Structure 1
Amino acid sequence: MDELDLRVVAALIAHPRASWPTVAKAVDASEATVSRRAARILSSELVHVAATLDVLATGRGVPVFVRVRCEPAKTVSVANALTSWPSVRFVSLVSGAADCLVELVAIDRNDLLDLTLVRLPELDGVIGSSSEVVLRRFTTGVGWDPGLLDAEAVAALRADRFDRWDRAQPTELAPPLTEVDEALVAALAEDGRMRWRELAARAGIMESTARRRVENLCQTGALRLRTIVEPETLGLPVTAFLWLRVDPRRVDAVAEELARNPAVLLLCATAGEHTMCGEVAVAAYSDLHRFLTGTLGGIAGIRDVDVTLGLRTLKRASIVRPWFPDPIPAAHERTS
């Protein structure tokens, strides 16, 4: 994608359902150009706008990060198998203390036990795992700003949103969803920019009712709008997952400082081996070095940092992009 394409994607990250005139104003281009480019971008597999239920706000479970260790020859097959689990929202091949990183949603303690201590070990190739239960979210991809638009343009786009993009952690449970709400959510999970008329038809209600119900779901925090794109598509190919041990008295202060950093996509307080975990994306390994030594090194309260490098994401926000590598040629084929 060229510079204008990237700015269009950045505008959709700031406001996933922004109208094309609104996007055109933000990126300083004509509406016709933006509409044409956006149609091409959204028809590709690189960018996807979707809406998902917030499991914390709806009381449907708790996110859990699982670091999986695998037999070397079976890591990719394990990762691809995990993408098919309905409870799994994120899968990435990684390098470091684990081979595969997974985010899953456990309904309750018994479900977590079944997923991590029964089903996961049954996968051929899994040799071990460790889990980190999310206690609090400080920032997520819903509120991420990759820094491709100026602050004024991002602020203007966000001001027009009707969802709680600015509230990573719900303050209270949202009201129970009705059957109509569930139908609307299912449709928006397929296409987060689906027109109100089509949404209404899918749910069997009037267009004005569909809009009112979706806006209400978003305002209560039950529904989260997001433009899903891999950081490398935006020129940020170096991703790393951070596992921090932080002085308990400094967790909120550390989180507040890190959440403001544009390199941080995700930041959570966790229960497990580490106090906090997060994901960062930068343009080069030298930038990651500066982040680790300068940014993290300059924050009081961080006692220890474990870094896991992202290699390839197979599932993000429940959008699956499986990877089946080509077979490595035999030695005589490589030298012939």
Structure 2
Amino acid sequence: MQRDGRASWRAIADAVGGTVATVTRRGQQLIASGVVRVAAVPALGAHGTYDAFFVRITCRPGMQMAVAEQLIAQPDVRFCTVVTGNYDIMAELVVRGGATHYPQLLEDLQGIDGVAQWRSDLIMHVYKVSFDWGRQLYGERIDQDVAAIEPEEPETCKPEHFDDADLQILAALREDGRETFQRIADGLGMNESSVRRRFERMRAARCVDILTLVPSAALGMGAETLMTVRVAPARLDAVARELARYPFVRYLAAMLDENALLCEVITPAVPELYRFITESLSRLDGVEGWSANMELLYLKRGFIETPWWRGQVAPSR
């Protein structure tokens, strides 16, 4: 389901070697219980020009979750996570219309009760966005030959690729990414073939992201880490392209400040993270150092609130 959140239960059963009945029952249980959420959202750029900013937030003592809860309610927040280290929360803001509109957004967000300090950095270029990190469970080792792995660059789109009907279809699939075309068609007063055709056109044009959200711990991946990797200026692009080939690098982007790469790494446990740092990252030509924050709780990813966080932490009142 991470590879294709809308794959049929039969196709998934064929892939995992199970029966259709068993796969259907278990898959539906995972979704109903909130362990898994599938959603479809318009690709970046679907609403016009934008700039993205990586934000690091320090909160007043005891206010981390209250601040995070208010942040994820903002439609401009693409991801939000509570972390260890010098900061309490890290998030990505997608500013529609570009950086000139950022001050307007800041006025609202920096005024959230509990925010003590706010630092932001422009994300200049995204090298990789991957929701298929689970393949590490099936034999792709940390020390594997990464030369054969092609990085997965993010999807982009433009507003003129959509009309009102397309956006209504995606709005329905945002709530349930596995909803049938027939039920969507019934809700919108369209015919099933038209809904299917429109969706397949958007997907072929890379105008839709299908996300399968699942907590890493549920699949035995216990260490999620955000790293800011400092790189010699002349080696920034080369180091990024090398890092993007690692399957456990889930997100990778170049930031404006400090000749740095923002790198999200997911590994089974801390020993594997240590191996990656000592045997791979530290040996890359051009890497000058890094800082890192362990992710404690992910509340939002890909503009979609994760379904499990409220069960782990009581919402603020």
Same fold (TM over 0.5): yes
SS class of match (2:31): helix
Tell me which residue corresponds to 1:319.
305
Aligned 8 A contact 1:92 1:100 in 2: yes
Q: Deviations over 1:113-136 (max 9, x none)?
A: 2223x2232112211111122222
Q: Is the 8 A contact 2:126 2:153 kept in 1?
A: no
Answer yes or no: is 1:252 the counterpart of 2:234. no
Verify: 1:104 aligned to 2:89, yes or no. no
Match of 1:79 among 65, 68, 71: 68
TM-score by length of 2: 0.87
How do residues 1-336 of structure 1 correspond to structure 2 at under 5 angstroms? Answer: 12-56=1-45, 58-107=47-96, 108-116=98-106, 118-149=107-138, 166-170=152-156, 173=158, 175-273=160-258, 275-317=260-302, 318-320=304-306, 321-322=309-310, 324-325=313-314
Q: In the alignment, which residue of structure 1 is the partner of 2:148?
A: none
Q: Give % identity.
A: 32
Deviation digits for residues 222-266 of structure 1, max 9, x if unmatched? 211121112222111211101122223322322222122121111
Partner letter of residue 298 of structure 2?
T
Q: 1:160 maps to which residue?
A: none
Q: Letter of the aligned partner of 1:304 in structure 2?
A: G
Query: Aligned equivalents of 1:71 and 1:309: distance in 2?
Result: 19
Q: 1:119 aligns to what SS in structure 2?
A: helix
TM norm structure 1: 0.83
Paired with 2:233 and 2:82, the residues of 1 have a C-alpha distance of 30
Measure, in 2, the Cα distance between the counterparts of 1:281 and 1:96: 17
Does the 8 A contact of 1:139 with 1:267 survive in 2?
yes
Change over 3 Å in CA distance of 1:166–1:308 after alignment to 2: closer
Query: Displaced runs of 4+ in structure 1, greater than 6 A?
Result: none
Residue deviations 1:24-58 (CA, integer Å, cap 9, x gap): 11111111111111111111211111111112355
Q: For residues 199 and 326 of structure 1, what CA distance do their matches in structure 2 show?
A: 32
SS of the residue 1:210 aligns to: helix
Deviation at 1:60, TM superposition (A): 4.9
Is residue 155–residue 207 contact of structure 2 (8 Å, CA) maintained in 1? no
- Aligned partner of 1:301: which letter? G
The answer to whether the 8 A contact 2:127-2:152 is kept is no
Quickly say closer, same or farther: Cα 1:166–1:200, change in 2 above 3 A: farther
* TM-fit CA distance, 1:21: 1.5
Distance across 2 between alignment mates of 1:300 and 1:174: 40
Task: Give the letter aligned to residue 128 of structure 1.
Answer: Q
User: Whole-Å Cα distance in 1 between the matches of residues 251 and 134 of structure 2?
Assistant: 11
Larger deviation, residues 292-301 vs 177-186: 292-301
On the 8 A contact 2:66/2:315 being kept in 1, the answer is no
Q: CA deviation at 1:325?
A: 4.8
Q: Secondary structure at the match of 1:67?
A: strand
Amino acid of the residue matched to residue 241 of structure 1? L
Q: C-alpha separation between the residues in 1 aligned to 2:33 and 2:164?
A: 32
| Larger displacement relative to structure 2 (77-86 or 235-244) | 77-86
Q: Distance in 1 between matches of 2:291 and 2:215?
A: 22
Q: AA paired with 2:299?
A: L
Q: Which amino acid aligns with 2:194?
A: T
Change (3 A) 1:143 1:135: farther
172-181 or 29-38, which deviates more: 172-181
Give the RMSD, CA atoms, in angstroms: 2.3
Q: Tell me the matched-pair count.
A: 301
1:144 CA displacement: 3.7
Does the CA contact (< 8 Å) of 1:174 and 1:222 recur in 2? no
Q: Distance in 1 between matches of 2:111 and 2:224?
A: 29
* Conservation of the 8 A alpha-carbon contact between 2:221 and 2:268: yes
